Structure 1
Amino acid sequence: MAQDQDVPEADRLDGAPHPRMASALVGQSAAETAFLDAYRGGRFPHAWILGGPEGVGKATFAYRAARFVLAHPDQRSPDVREARDLATPPGSAVARRVAALAHTSLFVVRRQWNLEKKSMPSQIPVDLVRKAVSFFGSTAGEGGWRVCIVDCAEDLNVQGANALLKVIEEPPPKSLFLIVSHMPGRLLPTIRSRCRLLGFRTLRPADIGRAVRSAPMDEGEAPDAALIDRAAALADGSVRGAYKLMDEGLLAIVEHVRAALDRLPALDWKDAHAIAEGLAGKANDAAYETAVETIFAWLGEQTAARAGEGARRLAPLAEVWDKVARSVRETDTYNLDRRALVLTLFSDLSDALRASRAA
């Protein structure tokens, strides 16, 4: 069914184009080459887990691969043998129909806007997965292929995952499943065992910048080049992260918080108070959420950097991670003072970093 342009989409970030609209895939050539080689080969897996961090191109790849397979159903054709990548002309009939979700051989499993409740459900309903089962049980698709994109596997409940497993276990000929997963290790072992895992890496800032610049934009002024570069540098390897920072105010907050964190264990209390004041109150919800995400990203970097230095150096960071998570959760749950939280977090992080270095 074609997508109504006015209906919110769970798999689209505000201010960014939907992955199915992107014609370019940046920084994931290894994954693309592996898929293309398999498609040209004699034994092509019918189910793939596209695994890796959120926002690095997995969904973009899924639609790109779907377009290629639907446009080139003969795996032994000269077009397939000579292809250097999975690109399909944006103006082609297949590309236009996939962009509109109007291709009869493509089925997308994702959370869908509830028109009656005017809300987005937190999970993919099992009935939608069962429709996918029926889709594969129908007559062969155009050119023989039928493609199902699941975006993402983490949104499936137990019933939905079991329903998906059922059709993966007994797929009809020329069936292709592209399952987007941010945490492949948490999928049902029975699903993992029936799929080929295709890994996607975090992106370099230069790749992120290229991805943002190459993406189709809505009418209006294009983002400033300098703003894109600043956002890419702080996006934690994710295009999605860069889009979330494509706001001068939020980007300034990330830069301010990162600068304060990078000075730890030295703690500038005047600066910490300035950060805390800027995050207080409901009017600053977006700034507060961005700052918390920045703190967790920084803490993750510190933990990864010391992964090979032994348990004694890792212990203070693991302990403060749990403490920070608990403090944030309690503040959000009981609507506690964010200013006090921020000051406590900086103090705890300073102590933990000092203890880690001394261990």
Structure 2
Amino acid sequence: MLNIADTLHAWCREARPFALATVVQVSGSAPLPPGTALAVDAEGTVVGSISGGCVEGAVYDLCRQVLEDGGAPARARFGYSDDDAFAVGLTCGGEIDVLVQRVEPVDQPHLAAALEEAVRGRPAAVAQIVDGPEELLGRTLGILGDGSGYDGSLGGVREDRAIAVQAAALLRAGRTRRVDIGGDAETCPERLSVLVHVNAPRPRMLVFGAVDFAAALSQAGRFLGCQVTVCDARPVFATTARFPYADEVVVDWPHRYLERTEVDARTAICVLTHDAKFDIPLLRLALGLPVGYVGAMGSRRTHDERLRLLREAGTPEEHLSRLRSPIGLDLGAHTPEETAISITAEIIAHANGGTGLPLSLSGAPIHSHLPAATSLAAHRAA
């Protein structure tokens, strides 16, 4: 859907009804991923693509039919036709499931709000029910910013909150994904499959110190979907050959690079340098920035000395309280790879409000530590 956000936003502002065809599932060698959409308005104007051309005509006709009927959403599956190469099908050999629904913008102002955020390049998500009870199929929920607020409804308060919480995690990761909720007393009685369309850049992981631990951490960060930068002032160590999983390798003094780069509330800063001349100016700056996580490697004695030097440099106590040091969770890690898992585990726990305890010992519901999401309507009513 967000691949055509600009046009859909314009149609919503004009209160122009349209049919929306969304790829909700793919298998095999399908050309485009879930979330890709095509839309048709009442005048027959079409925007977007869901297959690169091979099934567009059939989907267009289905969109016109749904617009004219004004009824329930329609489902269709397209795959390769062995009998007739010119039949409706995917010549690439894959299969796609498509959901086609009529959208009335006047009934869904939350959709216009989410699309506007996406058009402006701001983090936003649209959750869309793609499988479940027929009366709920196609319903949407708009999630803005960091995911702490949402608007619209998927059918009930529990459903809305459960999906908004999942959408917040996907916004942090910058990933569009299909998720299942419900079928239990903890979330909602109805089992729903929801496609969460996400507009967000990948979160940044800034790794300072071109050491072996940084090589493993950059690989783990890449696996988590982060945009990874490794920075070190020593050109002999800061090379792309040593850090093949990093998106960027920078040769510069760490604090100077941090001063000129962009960060946000999803950014994780990992300081692995073990050298006060790098650590102190870097951490003093990092702890005052609106980032999500700041951690520094070193022994407990190194940590105590680091705190002393930071205080002497004038770092406020409220800033020092943000520092995760020694970095990582206590996993008994020894190797660079184990340490990378320890660090990324702490980043995940910190972002999601987790305790870091084994689930077998926590005694709480598995998702009890996810950050709360609040309805924008509730904010307006308060």
- What is the TM-score of this pair, normalised by structure 2? 0.29
Tell which structure's C-alpha radius of gyration is larger: 2
More helix by share: 1
- What is the TM-score of this pair, normalised by structure 1? 0.30
